[in-house]
Amino acid sequence: MTRRVSIVDVAREARVSVATVSRILSNSDYPVSPETRARVLEAARRLDYVPDAFARALVRRRTGIIALTVHDIADPYFAEIARAVEDASQASGYRALICSTDRDPDKELQVVRSFRAFRPDGLIFAGGCVEDAAHVEKLRRGVGSLAVRGTRVVALSRHPTGVPMVRVDNVAVARAATEHVISLGHRRIAFICGQPNFTTSTDRLEGYRQALAAYGLPFDPDLIVIGWYTWEGGYRATRELLARGVDFSAVVASTDIMAIGALVALREAGIHVPDRVSLVGINDLPVASVVDPPLTTVSFRVRDLAAVAVRLILDALDGREIPQDTVLDFDLKVRRSTRPFPV
């Protein structure tokens, strides 16, 4: 293995000091004679020199890294987030370091802890947070020890740890989804919920409740079914719902992914969507419009969430004040999985 080419080699090649090289290759507004600059640039090019990020991070107080925790990078929602974080980071010369937590509190803690070794300039929590007091406290501590060392932290959903948030109002989102089917005349509306105790889950369930209440409809626990935030989860939850034998003409799913799982289960059971059952999702992922029927869903700019979060982190790094709670808009996208009731 050849010795790596360092700033010393470039300095020697250009017959200047390392300080001069450093000034030209990093701190660009420092006065340097044009000839020297040219000679150094040429030497760096000839040697194919790339400054070492590790050495640089050691002496600067910045690592150029933005850490991102997602529940599962293979989940289309988080893949979108990851892509947006990557793009926004790269545009400002930062790099994204991504880790999946699988919605496992312990793994989340461990991920946050392991991030500390990299002293990231920013940390973004993408998924919902477990609402367990003990866990939240541990997480708050983990976040604190990062923050105290300069990492700016932002969450993309309601986060009980008290970090700044960029998010949509999930209560309102689920309420909009539910009110849509209510306004179509549906009265017996099932709700497919993701893993309980997550902020996202409780908020969306609450939105569903609020919609019912607003229209004076009874809340029937038999219409609520708890599942997982996956296709399989939506599928199984719907099977369970069907097994209960309760009457319903509409299903609100906590996410598009779960809604698509529900679609499969309904199809298998010979229940036509939307002729016999209307179905609404949340998120408006690309996949929502390619299924049959195209999914009615609540839409918000998933990528904007991430982009704004990155911008806030950069702002905070620049010493600016950043808002504690940024709430983005959403709107209902009516496609063909919902229709009036009765037919």
Binding-site ranges for DNA (CB under 7 A): 3-4, 6-8, 15-20, 22-23, 25-28, 30-33, 35-37, 49, 51-52, 55-56, 58-60
Q: Which of 8, 19, 74, 246 binds its own copies (CB under 8 A)?
A: 74
Among 22, 69, 100, 297, binds its own copies (CB under 8 A): 100
Show contacts of 324-329: CB within 8 Å, 24+ apart: 324/164, 324/165, 325/164, 325/165, 325/167, 326/164, 326/165, 326/166, 326/167, 327/167, 327/168, 327/169, 328/166, 328/167, 328/168, 328/300, 328/301, 328/304, 329/168, 329/300, 329/301
Measured from the CB atom, is 244 or 267 closer to its own copies? 267
| Binding-site member from 217, 264, 328, 334 for its own copies (CB under 8 A) | 264
Using CA of residue 231, residue 232, residue 234, residue 238, what is the dihedral sign? positive
* Contact map string, positions 104 to 123, toward its own copies, x by CB under 8 A: ---------xx-xxxx----
Judged by beta carbon, residue 18 or residue 264, the one nearer DNA is 18
Q: Is 98 near its own copies (CB under 8 A)?
A: yes
| Nearer Cβ to its own copies (286/340) | 286
**Which residue, 121 or 284, is less far from DNA as judged by CB?**
121
The answer to whether 166 touches 328, Cβ cutoff 8 Å, is: yes
Q: Does residue 54 interact with its own copies by CB under 8 A?
A: yes
Q: Which among its own copies, DNA, none contacts residue 98 (Cβ within 5 to 8 A by kind)?
A: its own copies
Contacts of 111 (CB under 8 A, 6+ apart): 69, 99, 101
Site string for its own copies, 143-162 (x = CB under 8 A): --x--xxx------------
Run of H or E residues at 4 = none
Q: Which of 286, 74, 255, 147 is nearest to 155 (CA)?
A: 147
